[in-house]
Structure formats: C-alpha cells, structure tokens
C-alpha cells in the first residue's frame, strides 16, 4: 500500500503569501479564508509567519472554523553557503520548525517543506529532521521544494523515505516534464508555484524582482492565454490556474486584491479542451523564473 496521503487532504487551490509583508499579510489571509481558501502557503524565508498566524486565528474566530478545516504549509529555510548562510544541521532544522510553529501560533503544521536544495552536505540531515518532526506530530506531512531528480535520488539512495510533495515552479512556460514523470513514478505529489508568471500583471509592483526576461514581459501582452481565456469566458489568470489543476497540480495563487482572490479560486466551472491543452504543451520554455537569483533547482 502506498504511504502517500490521499490528495484530498490538501485543497487543490491554496493562497500564496510570498511578497506580502508581515504587517499586511494578516488582513490578506483573513480575506482569503473568508472568500473560501482553506489552504495557505508561507515560509520562514517570507518573514511573515507571525502575520499569517494572526490572519488564520482571526478568520477561524470570525467564521467559526476549527484548525482541522485548514491546511497550512510552511517551509524550512535550509541555508545556502553561497550566500554566507551556513546550511542547517538536524538540530537546527528541528529548532527552525519549532520557531515557525511559535510564530504561526499553531500546535502543528500540515505540510513542512525544505524550501530549496541549498543545504548541500546537510540535505540528508535536514530530511531526517523533517521525518523526526512528522513522527513527533509537529507536522502532518513533509516534502521538499525545488528539488530535481538528482536531489530526490540522493534521498532514495540514502535509503530515506521519499518526500510526499515537491513544490516547484510550474506553468505553461516551465513545464518540467522529466521531473514530473520521475515524481509520478515515485508517488511524489506536485504543488505548482508562480502559476501566473505569463501574465503581464505578474509581480509588477516595485521591488518584486524575478528572472522574468524582457521578452517574456513583452509576450504577456496579446498572449495566446488571453485569447484562450476569452473562449472560455474566464480571466487569463483563471485559464493559467485551471491548466495547473487540470494537470493535477495544486496551485497557490497570491493576490492582495479581494476580487482577484475570488477569481483565482473559482476554477471549477470550465474545462480547457484537449486541443488547447495540446497547444499549451508546446509552449514550454524551460527553467523557472520566479527566483531573481535563477532557478533554485540548481542551488545545490
């Protein structure tokens, strides 16, 4: 029998919180939960876990929700020697999770991920620590983010249990077919981040850096996704997010705008037809662009 949890444990549409400040995020999370999100994605590296926790508590109180109604993900910042940030060892990983729990004000985390493969020689110890945290009941599910086939093989070859999830940048311009087929063969569920990269409105606010090229930015106007969206009478964002869920990926749209939050979770009233799915399959441009420092799969 597979050790993989049924996917229904994790709602397919989660609310992303990267680039929402700790001051602003409580309001955003509370709003997102009030319009129907039950899955929230944050990370130690976003510096907003405290505000996320405040938003969760406010929404639970206002809406009469219990903790088990929500699925909360946060991530270990594993360290990165190349940035002068020593990789965390086993004990430091356990401490980092406990610190995240404290900031969030939660008794447990639904999904705890290693944010990137940048832990180098500590990667296996970090993964052992996540398994320990799961056994101790501090986290319900564990996984990784931005891991390649080689990083996953490293865990397999060390005789470790495989991650339940790998959160990776996935959208029509970064489709990662080889990684996804490796993950399917090893029963590792994909979670898609930065689904909205092809939009002309993606991270346009000042200070929201990425590796999106000028060509990609120019391609965002009059894009094939806009034309497809018109055909289905949905927004371009809905089309891009629907592509993800239709492929079987959970998605994590981030918005600080209430109307967009509503739109981004309303993905189940239409279906992209086979012809359009085949067209989108030909639009892959390769590596992810969400990290300004380049695709984090190559960090370790």
Ligand X SMILES: NC(=O)c1ccc[n+]([C@@H]2O[C@H](COP(=O)([O-])OP(=O)(O)OC[C@H]3O[C@@H](n4cnc5c(N)ncnc54)[C@H](OP(=O)(O)O)[C@@H]3O)[C@@H](O)[C@H]2O)c1
| Footprint on this chain of ligand X (rule: CB under 6 A) | 16-18, 41, 115, 145-146, 167, 193-196, 199, 201-203, 235, 237, 252-257, 260, 263-264, 290, 296
The pair phi, psi for residue 248, each rounded to 5°, is: 95, 15
Cα separation, 180 vs 147, whole angstroms: 11
Active-site choice (37, 46, 193, 249): 46
Coil/strand/helix, residue 198: coil
Residue 115 or residue 242: which is nearer to ligand X going by CB? 115
Of the pair 12, 66, the CB lying nearest ligand X is at 12
* Of residues 80 and 194, the one with the C-beta less far from ligand X: 194
- Distance in Å, CB of 208 to ligand X, minimum: 6
Is 112 in the active site?
no
Classify residue 36 as left (phi > 0), alpha (psi -120 to 50) or beta.
Answer: left
Q: Please list the alpha-helical segments (H only) found in the chain.
A: 22-34, 49-63, 90-104, 123-135, 149-157, 177-185, 214-219, 224-232, 236-246, 258-265, 274-281
Pick between residue 16 and residue 138 the one whose CB is nearest to ligand X. Answer: 16
Please, is 61 exposed, middle or buried when counting C-beta atoms within 10 Å of its C-beta (0-12, 13-18, 19+)? exposed
Contact 175, 205 (CB under 8 A): no
255: Cβ contacts below 8 Å, ≥ 6 apart: 261, 264
- C-beta closer to ligand X: residue 259 or 275: 259
Least distance in angstroms from the C-beta of 42 to ligand X:
7
Q: For residue 278, give both structure tokens.
A: 């085949």
Residue 159 CB, shortest distance to ligand X, in Å, is 26
**Shortest CB 100 distance to ligand X, Å:** 14
Shortest separation between residue 47's beta carbon and ligand X, angstroms: 13
Closest to 175 measured CA to CA, from 185, 163, 183, 164: 183
CA distance 68 to 25: 21
Neighbours of 207 (CB within 10 A): 6
Catalytic residues, by residue number, are: 46
């Amino acid at each position: 029998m597979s050790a993989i949890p049924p996917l229904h444990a994790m709602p397919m549409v989660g609310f992303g919180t990267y680039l929402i400040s700790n001051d602003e995020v409580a309001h955003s999370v509370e709003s997102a939960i009030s319009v129907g999100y039950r899955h929230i994605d944050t990370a130690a590296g976003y510096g907003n876990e405290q505000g996320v926790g405040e938003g969760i508590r406010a929404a639970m109180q206002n809406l009469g929700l219990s903790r088990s109604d929500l699925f909360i993900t946060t991530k270990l910042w594993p360290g990165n020697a190349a940035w002068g940030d020593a990789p965390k060892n086993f004990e430091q990983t356990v401490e980092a999770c406990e610190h995240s729990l404290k900031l969030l004000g939660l008794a447990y985390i639904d999904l705890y991920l290693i944010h990137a493969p940048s832990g180098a020689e500590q990667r296996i110890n970090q993964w052992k620590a996540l398994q320990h945290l799961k056994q101790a009941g501090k986290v319900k599910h564990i996984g990784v983010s931005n891991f390649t086939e080689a990083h996953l093989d490293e865990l397999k070859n060390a005789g470790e249990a495989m991650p339940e999830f790998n959160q990776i940048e996935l959208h029509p311009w970064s489709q990662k077919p080889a990684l996804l087929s490796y993950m399917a063969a090893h029963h590792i569920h994909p979670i898609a981040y930065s689904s909205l990269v092809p939009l002309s409105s993606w991270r346009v606010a000042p200070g929201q850096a990425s590796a999106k090229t000028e060509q990609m930015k120019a391609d965002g106007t009059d894009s094939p996704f806009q034309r497809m969206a018109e055909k289905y009478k949905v927004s371009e964002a809905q089309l891009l997010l629907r592509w993800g869920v239709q492929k079987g990926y959970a998605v994590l749209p981030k918005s600080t705008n209430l109307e967009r939050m509503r739109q981004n979770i309303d993905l189940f009233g239409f279906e992209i037809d086979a012809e359009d799915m085949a067209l989108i399959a030909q639009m892959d441009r390769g590596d992810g662009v969400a990290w300004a420092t380049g695709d984090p799969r190559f960090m370790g």
